[in-house]
Amino acid sequence: MPVLLIVVDGLSDRPIDGKTPLSVARKPNLDRLAEMGINGIMDTIAPGIRPGSDTSHLALLGYDPYKYYSGRGPIEAAGVGIEIKPGDVAFRANFATVEGEGSIFDKTVVDRRAGRIEDTSELIKALREIELPVELLVERGTGHRAAVVFRGEGLSDRVSDTDPKAVGKKVKRCLPLADDAKAKKTAEIVNEFMQKAHEVLENHPLNRERAEKGLLKANALLLRGAGEMPHVPSFKDKTGLRLCVIAATALIKGVGRVVGADVITPEGATGNKNTNLEAKVKAAINALESYDVVLLHIKATDELGHDGDFEGKKAFIEKLDEKIAPLLDLDFSKTCLILTADHSTPIKVKDHTADPVPVVIVHEDVRRDEVSSFSEFEAYKGGLCRIRGMDLLNIALDLLNIAKKFGA
Amino acid sequence: MPVLLIVVDGLSDRPIDGKTPLSVARKPNLDRLAEMGINGIMDTIAPGIRPGSDTSHLALLGYDPYKYYSGRGPIEAAGVGIEIKPGDVAFRANFATVEGEGSIFDKTVVDRRAGRIEDTSELIKALREIELPVELLVERGTGHRAAVVFRGEGLSDRVSDTDPKAVGKKVKRCLPLADDAKAKKTAEIVNEFMQKAHEVLENHPLNRERAEKGLLKANALLLRGAGEMPHVPSFKDKTGLRLCVIAATALIKGVGRVVGADVITPEGATGNKNTNLEAKVKAAINALESYDVVLLHIKATDELGHDGDFEGKKAFIEKLDEKIAPLLDLDFSKTCLILTADHSTPIKVKDHTADPVPVVIVHEDVRRDEVSSFSEFEAYKGGLCRIRGMDLLNIALDLLNIAKKFGA
């Protein structure tokens, strides 16, 4: 009796001339799901609260983000494959190019992406050799991205970024943001790491090679978004259920790893509009054989929303509609399928908003309503009315008769 | 300006071929109430949380069950008439038949209901004479059922059951479930009670008489569901209002007593499908003269749901519809009538589920909506949208202009 939770990132919109990409897209399969199920709108966190994809995914998995979210750092670090533990302090990092004389903090950022460097694996290996008073974990992300984790006693995430977030500015010194020994100690260690990383990178053969080819050196690592990994009970411990997350995006993979899910990235799944949707849908169907809850994350709608690309978002929704066709043949006397989004990313706003997302729950036993189209303008008329992200999985587990009774 | 809250236990369902007992029943009076009122769906506890009848009734009366519920024991004890106090540890109990040699814990259960004994009043009287290091309260329930309460300093409900819950098994020793002095002391007292109760019962004239007639002896009391009575403010203290609960079921009577309500069980009210509905409706109308809030509980729908009896549930709903006719003549410029359920008990599940319940509030001043039928498939279209059990009474008190303003 598994749950398939399909989260289409940033799917929903605000209307432009009364239209949204979702409302005008040709999407017979999504509409069929709406017709088969019980519909509603959902505040993934709470009404009017603009969700991140990390906080909203935590909520959709039943974890209160106000309790379990401590910044993007730990989740990105988990997403790129670092086995992060409670108490670790994690940063997101960029390989960057700096120029000038003196220490790293005297130098100026000339490119925050080091000429959009693609393969940093050799640099990462060299960085791992750095010796610090605490344990250091470094892992590459996609392109110029990386994650850095400090592990040891008495660390704190109450420290500032070293990334000046603009070219032409000097690298920033990490400062304690709290008046305590932990924050001071952490800032000192971060600054020691910044200087040592610069030295290692500046003299690395790969960078000498890049300089010879006229490419920008990846000679600094800029840190931002410090977060201390909180103690998060695993999904298995919390619910007794096996969770699988199918995603290509580091942030979502990170959420999956933080809650102890198995994370699958099928061949060709990229997190952009050219992703291999067939492979993802197939992976989801397979995963339903061996997991109780399968979260299938689709990213491109969010990117196209951030780009303000109405037609592109509409076209991708139409492609998604086509590729999810096999899911309509699932046995809904056994499987509960949920189709929804983690937040809206309206074309007009080019960022996440708190406009509620449409949600449909398909299962033989739901009270079917009269909604027959999956869109922002129809979902609210459905039998779910308006629910919250934290409640969604509980509703599904009740439907599947997995939920326990509270009381007699 | 009273509130009449009619709670039809387990009334709502999940659809079978698109139908529920409520949706297909002929129920012109219930539909008339839907037409006169404002409708919605309600999560009595929270979306996806499967309610017990005890926890949901607490919520419907405005008591957060996560704060005020500590198991079925104390509520059942209150239900059978024990004046339970904060700190008391209460158990549900069964008169049973045990056989064998040695102490109570060496003996084997041969019937968990002592041959379905009906009148235990003489046995209860004898049990009350048992001397223990703490105060003992015992009261009979219906048939073989009873409640046992231990009152004194330093007791705990973190102890195990003595009921093995199966025939052919030995009576269990009560064990502490926490590593503290309270749990150990309680377990010792419970075990002392178990042995003494067995001795009193084994030699009781009524049991000798039963043995002579070839009936099973009611020679042991098996305990389960320990719960420590929490401090619950009375409904009167909390709201300033007089509450009356009209019910025949011990669990609901118990909820009423725990919150300090007057509890009325009219002649012929049984809690099953042959209950005297006329008497209950009449009692409710009378109670509206002298109480501010009257909770009228109807049980049989839940039982028929547990039995998986679609036709029986439908027939009982039709009977209920007929018998509540006098309530349509209430003066709704004065009285606020609420019709709802405490949870769903779907035919297909034969147990409580979290599927939201329909709710209608009838009063001259409500914003009437377009719903004209009382069913799971119509209620969500109403003007209340989706509310929670804890909010219901507040909505009614606001309608009646009893609610106080928060702020200026």
* pLDDT tens sequence across A147-157: 999 999 999 99
Question: B332 touching A, CB under 8 A?
Answer: no
Per residue in A194-203, pLDDT (tens digit) is 999 999 999 9
- Interface TM-score (ipTM) > 0.85: yes
Euclidean distance between CA atoms B162 and B271, whole angstroms: 28
Query: At B152, phi and psi to the nearest 5?
Result: 165, 175
**pLDDT at residue A275, as a whole number:** 85
The predicted model gives A60-84 an average pLDDT of 94
Angle at A173 between CA A169 and CA A174, to 5 degrees: 130
Residues of B in contact with A44 (CB under 8 A): none
The predicted model gives A299-326 an average pLDDT of 97
Question: B227 touching A, CB under 8 A?
Answer: no
B287 has pLDDT over 90: yes
Number of H helices and E strands in chain B, helices first, is: 14, 14
Question: A366 touching B, CB under 8 A?
Answer: yes
A408 with B51: Cβ contact below 8 A: no
Euclidean distance between CA atoms B182 and B172, whole angstroms: 20
**pLDDT at residue B344, as a whole number:** 98
Helix orientation angle between A310-323 and A28-36, rounded to the nearest 10 degrees:
60
The predicted model gives A85-90 an average pLDDT of 95
What is the DSSP track for B325-377? GGGGGS-TTT-EEEEE-SSB--TTTTS-B-PPEEEEEE-TTS---S--S-STT
Q: What is the dihedral of CA A175, A179, A180, A183, to 10 degrees?
A: -20
Per residue in B12-64, pLDDT (tens digit) is 999 999 999 999 999 999 999 999 999 999 999 999 999 999 999 999 999 99
Q: What percent of chain B has pLDDT over 90?
A: 95
A271 has pLDDT over 90: no
A142 has pLDDT over 90: no
**pLDDT at residue A269, as a whole number:** 86
**pLDDT at residue B379, as a whole number:** 98
Residues of A in contact with B45 (CB under 8 A): 406
A309: Cβ–Cβ under 8 A, 6 or more apart, which residues?
Answer: A347
Per residue in B365-378, pLDDT (tens digit) is 999 999 999 999 99
B48 with A388: Cβ contact below 8 A: no
B329 has pLDDT over 90: yes
The shortest CB-CB distance from B49 to any of A369, A383, A394 is to A394
Question: A406 touching B, CB under 8 A?
Answer: yes
Per residue in A377-386, pLDDT (tens digit) is 999 999 999 9
**pLDDT at residue B204, as a whole number:** 97
Residues of B in contact with A368 (CB under 8 A): 15, 18
**pLDDT at residue B400, as a whole number:** 94
The helix (H) or strand (E) run that includes residue A190 is helix A181-202
**pLDDT at residue B152, as a whole number:** 96
A205 has pLDDT over 90: yes
DSSP β-bridge partners for residue A23: none
**pLDDT at residue A273, as a whole number:** 86
B269 has pLDDT over 90: no
Per residue in A211-243, pLDDT (tens digit) is 999 999 999 999 999 999 989 999 999 999 999
B88 has pLDDT over 90: yes
Using only C-alpha atoms, chain B has a radius of gyration, in whole angstroms, of 23
Residues of B in contact with A404 (CB under 8 A): 50
A144 has pLDDT over 90: yes
Shortest alpha-carbon distance between residue B15 and chain A (Å): 6
Domain over B3-68+233-400 is classified CATH 3.40.720.10:
yes
Which structure tokens are listed for A59?
Answer: 């909520």
The residue ranges of every structural domain in chain B are 3-68+233-400, 76-229
B142 has pLDDT over 90: no
The shortest CB-CB distance from A395 to any of B47, B52, B251 is to B47
**pLDDT at residue A378, as a whole number:** 98
C-beta separation of A21 from A347 below 8 A: yes
The predicted model gives B103-126 an average pLDDT of 96
**pLDDT at residue B213, as a whole number:** 94
C-beta separation of B388 from A388 below 8 A: no
**pLDDT at residue B270, as a whole number:** 86
**pLDDT at residue A137, as a whole number:** 97
B47 with A394: Cβ contact below 8 A: yes
pTM equals 0.93
